[in-house]
Amino acid sequence: MSRIGIAGTGRLAQALGRLLLQTGEPVVCIAGRDPQRTKLAADFIGIEPVALCDMPARASRFLIAVSDGAIGDVAAVLAACVSGSEMALHTCGSKGVEDLQPLRDRGIACGTLHPLQTVCSPEQGTAALRGAAFGISGDEPAVRWARQIAASIAGQALTIGTAERPLYHAAAVMASNYLAGLIDAAQILMATATGSDADTARRALAPLIRTAVENILERGPLAALTGPIERGDIETVQRHLAAVRTLPFTIENLYRAAGLHTVDLAQRKGLAPAIAQEMKAALQ
């Protein structure tokens, strides 16, 4: 089997490296800018720390798990050192293979392997990446390797076209990062209403959040939708709008924007068009 080297020492690089090694993939080395961090990452995975320019001498396949802006620089360094290398994948969700062009120019098949998962720590990521979906694109040999990696950890492979990549990444951001923003806004509302601190407000909301998310994932957003918009209770929505005007404008705007889309969802569930139109007028 062709040996694998990892470029990058962050949470995702460590989690993916350890998980692949656990599944029998020949991960042999890891490289990063900071020698101390590289050593710590190598110890976590159980592989050798190396300098980036030395990686091609030890591995013929590269997993590049660095920040979005660093992908091109890493590709350029590797391209200057490669000899007989086969393939390279990067883990960025917002970019295709364009930043790996220096490696493509050297005849290396390039692609993307973006995990649809949030990684807060290497330990959490090692568990969470198993069974996750992965956005995959690129040259056919690299795509086959990316699919093999996804299959080895019981993941789902999603083929992403170049034109569709911004939509794909926007979906991931809304399902993860924006969810944090939405819950933060709810936490601020609850803390203000109850005179409690943020932790107390979050604990109070936690059972509701968990049940709502579980229902949405199990039954779908349409069947799981409840609340004043779903039942056409415009008076309650108007009271909400009056109350959130006293808070930072970002929270009011978020309430309005989320509410407008929820009206569309409620219409699909049977909300009368006249009531939906009145609700939208209040939210705009």
Rounded to whole angstroms, the Cα distance separating 260 from 280 reads: 6
The residues, ordered by sequence, that sit 6+ positions from 21 with a Cβ below 8 Å of its Cβ are: 27, 45, 46, 47
Predicted confidence (pLDDT) at residue 180 exceeds the cutoff of 90: yes
**pLDDT for the residue 110:** 97
- For 4-161, CATH number? 3.40.50.720
With CA atoms as reference, report the closest residue to 251 among 201, 208, 190, 205.
190
List CB contacts of 196: < 8 A, sequence separation 6 or more.
Answer: 190, 204
pTM (predicted TM-score): 0.88
Q: What is the pLDDT of residue 155?
A: 96
In the numeric block, the tokens 């295709």 are attached to: 96
Strand 4-7 to 27-31 pairing: parallel
pLDDT in tens, 163-177: 999 999 999 999 999
Token pair for 108: 């290396």
Rg (CA), the chain: 23
Any residues with CB less than 8 A from the CB of 79 and at least 6 apart, and which? 102, 103, 105, 106, 108
The confidence score (pLDDT) of residue 85 equals: 78
**Residue 130: per-residue pLDDT:** 95
88, pLDDT greater than 90: yes
Give per-residue pLDDT as tens, 181-204: 999 999 999 999 999 999 999 999
Q: Which residues, in sequence order, are CB contacts of 171 under 8 Å at separation 6+? A: none
Structural tokens at position 218? 């199990």
Q: In this predicted model, what pLDDT tens digit does every residue of 52-62 receive, in sequence order?
A: 999 999 999 99
Q: Which amino acid is at 194?
A: T
Output the pLDDT for position 83: 82
Report the distance separating Cα 116 and Cα 119, nearest Å.
10
